[in-house]
Structure 1
């Protein structure tokens, strides 16, 4: 049974992360489009599988899994011998450094990028409210400080977890590209190493293809 991927049809937020892993790992899948505007994610059928009523979600031959980072890890490990290696397996230290990098993203970067997204995307479009400029300015200042630390880390290695591209780098694509399109380029003028790293991550062929074509079934 081919893997079913419950998602919006465009590559953004957590759905975009899972879609990129599917492409990077060359995993066949059937896209089940969830129309958020119509409330597909709040139907009894969807809630029976995802009690929080969200996307993304996968059905892997009856195994239901939600939360984008959990899905990405599951797919990367299940299909470790296919496509791009996204979780190091060469040694325990290499795996530990990957987990360290993934924790850095989730604890230091993700909360701030979500805060910015709430102010410049969610509030205006969902609630028709202007952003709180003080909150927005503070979040941008805080994330700039975090990226200054990234600059130091990336001065000695190519990617956040070492010299190979991993999920820790990929996870930064959840909201950042969308914010850049909205005119909030938090990656600009952050130092040569951050610039080099971000250009590498955001220009991967898999991501470029998803941005151009959206998410489509591969069966």
Structure 2
């Protein structure tokens, strides 16, 4: 048996969990949870994820873990000897910078980017009309944050320093689909563009795409 990842290819958090599993060379099986049929609210799924969301993982020994960031940290720690060092250890200042970047990604990138995805893509998928005023507000917020990212990346290679960490990978699932919903975060930001393009070329992301785990449709 292999680890099972319960999620779907249109879920950015599911993609993040899958991406880290691939980075750490952990074999896994994606068990598709059909959001359209509200399978995430089924008794089986609620028994493993009481909030009725995805993703979550189930290991061979029955261990269950939900929340994509918790999954990512668990996998990166458990399999640290078979993949890149995605969580700093030892150097307190590097650890602090990693934690700083982690909170910054959540507040300054994920929040506005995910809200845009919900407002534009999810509403259209549900046959609803996006609130253009809300879209404009969120877009303005996101792009202003990307200007700060450009400043950060002009001084260092990655978000937490000069070594790649989980924080960088956490951006990929949402950053990769921004063009699909008409949001350009790279133009006029050469350092951010270089950083993102490098991440998009990683073997793990390419494998994720090749196996149909990246989609906005």
**TM-score, length of structure 1 as denominator length:** 0.90
Q: Separation in 2 of the partners of 1:211 and 1:12?
A: 13
- After superposing the two structures, state which structure 1 stretch, 86-95 or 67-76, moved more: 86-95
Aligned length in residues: 212
| 2:162 alignment counterpart | 163
Counterpart of 2:193 (choices 177, 192, 195) is: 195
Matched, 1:5 2:30: no
- The answer (yes or no) to whether the contact 1:2–1:29 under 8 Å persists in 2 is yes
8 Å contact kept, 2:117–2:181 = no
Q: Is the 8 A contact 1:151 1:190 kept in 2?
A: no
Displacement, 1:28?
Answer: 1.7
Q: Determine whether 1:207 maps to 2:211.
A: no
CA distance in 2, matches of 1:12, 1:90: 34
CA shift for structure 1 position 23: 0.5
Structure 1 partner of 2:113: 113
Secondary structure of the 2:87 match is: coil
Instruction: Report if the CA contact (8 A) 1:11-1:17 is conserved.
Output: no
Provide structure 1 residue ranges, at least 5 long, that are not aligned to the other structure: none
Looking at structure 1, the residues matched to 97 and 10 of structure 2 have their Cα atoms a distance apart, in angstroms, of 27
Shift of 1:48: 1.0
CA contact (8 A) 1:25 1:82 kept: yes
Contact 2:16 2:170 in 1 (8 A): yes
How far is 1:12 from its partner? 4.2
What secondary structure, in the 3-state scheme, does the structure 2 residue paired with 1:175 have? helix
TM superposition shift of 1:210: 1.0
**Distance across 1 between alignment mates of 2:199 and 2:146:** 15
Q: Residues 1-219 of structure 1 correspond to what in structure 2 (within 5 A)?
A: 2-8=2-8, 10=9, 12-60=11-59, 61-126=61-126, 128-185=127-184, 187-215=185-213
Cα distance in 2 for partners of 1:93, 1:143 equals: 28
1:139–1:200 CA distance, 2 compared to 1 (3 A) = same
Q: Equivalents in 2 of 1:213, 1:85: separation in Å?
A: 24
Instruction: Report if aligned partners of 1:12, 1:175 keep a CA contact under 8 Å in 2.
Output: no
| Structure 2 spans left out of the alignment, 5+ residues | none
Shift of 1:190: 4.0
Could you say what secondary structure the match of 2:142 adopts? Answer: helix
RMSD: 1.6
Q: Give deviations 1:108-128, integer Å, cap 9, x for gaps.
A: 1111001211121011112x1
